[in-house]
């Protein structure tokens, strides 16, 4: 099974249905960004610190690779703030939403469809900043992601990433949703394709829900360091209170800022 193609189709379906990450921001968000008032998120709730952007709020001339960040949200915000943005996403529907939203507001954006683990189409040192919201749960192996992003960044450039806490995948979410009981079920690292119950996996695939992988903190943060990045910022975040019965047990998301040495 081609996981990349399957997840592309799954995300196209989610985008068409208008999930939270596939609903373009209201018009006034982009108009405020043009005036220098903007913020973006890598995780569900916390704004990325302004200090993580080298020239906040004016991004004029900054070359940004929005990696797996389609959907008409962060990409047009960056473009409205003056950046030269390339939106690179596996989902053509997510890319279309970036294109439509930017066109509506007179903004320019370069669109390219592809695999976040294969940035071979970009030259070395092409970008000043890479913006990658929570998405590596859809990638089977993170080493190619870190190697590729390091190559296409300029020396001194930064990569901003959002992560799912791998502990999320420990639990039996079917029991959690039905009863609220927290039951540890899975070993880590976890993969839907390798570790999900056969019946549950069949239902998941029939429903065209995306296939996910947990990644250890070593793979997510240590992997960046091994690729040649230096971590210079970190914060944790969570879902909205009503979004999961795991709320309050531990932060379910984190974000890093890393610099290419």
Query: Quick one: pLDDT at residue 35?
Result: 98
Segment 89-110 mean pLDDT: 98
Query: Quick one: pLDDT at residue 240?
Result: 74
Q: Is residue 189 part of a domain?
A: no
Segment 98-112 mean pLDDT: 98
Which residues have a Cβ under 8 Å from the Cβ of 197 and sit 6 or more positions away?
Answer: none
Query: Quick one: pLDDT at residue 173?
Result: 86
Query: Quick one: pLDDT at residue 241?
Result: 62
Residue 167 has pLDDT above 80, yes or no: yes
* Span 33-69, pLDDT tens digits: 999 999 999 999 999 999 999 999 999 999 999 999 9
Per-residue confidence band for 110, with pLDDT thresholds at 50, 70 and 90? very high
Q: Is residue 10 part of a domain?
A: yes
Prediction pTM value: 0.96
* Span 198-217, pLDDT tens digits: 998 999 999 999 999 999 99
Distance linking the first and last C-alpha atoms of the chain: 37
Query: Quick one: pLDDT at residue 255?
Result: 98
Q: Is residue 52 part of a domain?
A: yes
Query: Quick one: pLDDT at residue 245?
Result: 73
Tell me the average pLDDT of the chain: 95
Residue 134 has pLDDT above 80, yes or no: yes
Query: Quick one: pLDDT at residue 216?
Result: 97
Query: Quick one: pLDDT at residue 242?
Result: 57
Helix intervals (H) in 153-256? 173-179, 192-195, 198-206, 217, 223-227
* Extended beta strands in the chain, E state: 63-67, 84-89, 110-113, 127-132, 153-164, 229-237, 253-260
Residue 244 has pLDDT above 70, yes or no: no
Structural domain including 220 reads 3-163+215-260
Q: Is residue 206 part of a domain?
A: no
Q: How many domains would you assign to the chain? A: 1
Q: Is residue 179 part of a domain?
A: no
CATH of the domain at 28: 3.40.50.150
Token code pair at residue 217: 């903190």
Q: Is residue 194 part of a domain?
A: no
* Span 173-186, pLDDT tens digits: 889 888 888 899 99
Q: Is residue 191 part of a domain?
A: no
Q: Is residue 124 part of a domain?
A: yes
């Amino acid at each position: 099974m081609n996981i990349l193609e399957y997840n592309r189709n799954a995300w196209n379906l989610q985008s068409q249905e208008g999930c939270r990450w596939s609903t373009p921001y209201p018009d006034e968000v982009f108009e405020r960004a043009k005036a220098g008032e903007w913020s973006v998120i890598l995780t569900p709730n916390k704004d990325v610190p302004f200090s993580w952007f080298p020239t906040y709020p004016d991004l004029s001339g900054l070359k940004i690779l929005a990696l797996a960040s389609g959907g008409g949200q962060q990409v047009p915000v960056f473009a409205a703030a003056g950046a030269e943005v390339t939106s690179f996403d596996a989902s053509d529907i997510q890319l279309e939403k970036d294109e439509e939203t930017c066109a509506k507001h007179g903004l320019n954006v370069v669109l390219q469809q592809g695999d976040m683990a294969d940035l071979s189409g970009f030259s070395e040192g092409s970008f000043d900043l890479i913006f990658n919201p929570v998405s590596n749960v859809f990638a089977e192996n993170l080493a190619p992601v870190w190697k590729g992003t390091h190559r296409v960044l300029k020396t001194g450039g930064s990569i901003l990433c959002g992560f799912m806490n791998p502990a999320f995948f420990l639990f039996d979410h079917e029991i959690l949703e039905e009863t609220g009981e927290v039951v540890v079920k899975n070993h880590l690292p976890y993969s839907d394709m390798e570790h999900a119950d056969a019946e549950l996996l069949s239902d998941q695939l029939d429903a065209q829900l995306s296939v996910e992988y947990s990644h250890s903190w070593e793979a997510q943060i240590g992997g960046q360091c091994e690729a040649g990045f230096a971590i210079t910022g970190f914060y944790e975040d969570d879902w909205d209170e009503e979004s999961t019965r795991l709320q309050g047990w531990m932060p379910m998301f984190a974000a890093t800022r890393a610099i290419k040495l």
